[in-house]
Amino acid sequence: MKNKEWTEVSFEEVNCFRCGIKGHLLYNQGPFRVIECSQCGQVFISPRLKEIARKRMYENSGYFDEGIYGFSKKFSLALIPQKIWSYSRLNLIRHLLKGDIKGKKLLEIGCAYGLFLEISRQKGFEVTGIEYSYTAVKWIRKNLGLNVYYGEIEKIRLQENDYDIICFWDVIEHVEDPGLFLKSVSRIIKENGFIIFSCPYFNSLPASILKSKWWTLKPEQHLWHFTLNTLDMVFSDSKLQLIRVIKSPFSLVNFSRFDSIVGIAKKSKRIKG
């Protein structure tokens, strides 16, 4: 977990993004600390790596292995679950849209090397991606010719109420501020659109039993850890409503993942009167 490139100046202290308070210590994790907000229960890493150190990590070609996240002629065992998730999640989306996907606009935030985006395009979606790693953005543009923005959704001016589907697979735990992230999502999703995502959760069995040994803690990259409860709050803060959570590791959309969920959200209904 220690990286010789990190120095004291690579770290920053942060507060709960919802309540702005420091919170209390759950576990020490090397140079990192796992903190729980005493007010809302959100779990987060503080001190955490500063943006510049995290950026360096995502640009490293070893972080996203093309064999896993992209298209490779080499056979890779790791590609099997990636493909199971991608095809079954697309099937779920097709079901949500009642089969009507031709020309529908799909945005994937954190599209890595474009595996899911390319499959979505082949099924008839009009696809756009956003990716934080410039190495991956260049790769997609050159090899798949897809429309991908480089950077973070909070800093990209996208049209309001424009997307039928917005997906982010294992992304929300990595972002600088999940509140600002979801507000940007809420702004550009259509009134009747669907948000579909996956993320690890902190009240899962592996996380509860293994505590500081939980394999998904990864404090250098997972800055925020949600419980089902805090996820609900964070979505409603941004005028979004979680309408379904799939926890089962036997469901193909979440296959073999004992510590993660797939969630579906929509814009909250406006209260009349």
> Which is nearest to 43 in space by CA: 239, 216, 198?
216
Residue 37 or residue 146: which is nearer to Zn ion going by CB? 37
Residue 116 or residue 235: which is nearer to Zn ion going by CB? 235
CB 174 within 8 A of CB 110: yes
CB of 224 to Zn ion, least distance (A): 11
Residue 65 or residue 232: which is nearer to Zn ion going by CB? 232
Q: Can you list the pairs that 123-129 forms with residues at least 24 positions away whose Cβ atoms lie under 8 Å?
A: 123/90, 123/94, 125/101, 125/165, 128/163
CB of 139 to Zn ion, least distance (A): 37
Residue 19 or residue 84: which is nearer to Zn ion going by CB? 19
Residue 88 or residue 236: which is nearer to Zn ion going by CB? 236
What is the binding site for Zn ion (CB under 5 A)?
16, 18-19, 37, 39-40, 42
The gap from C-alpha 212 to its chain's centroid, in whole angstroms, comes to 22
CB of 15 to Zn ion, least distance (A): 8
CB of 71 to Zn ion, least distance (A): 41
> Which is nearest to 31 in space by CA: 5, 63, 52, 64?
5
CB of 125 to Zn ion, least distance (A): 36
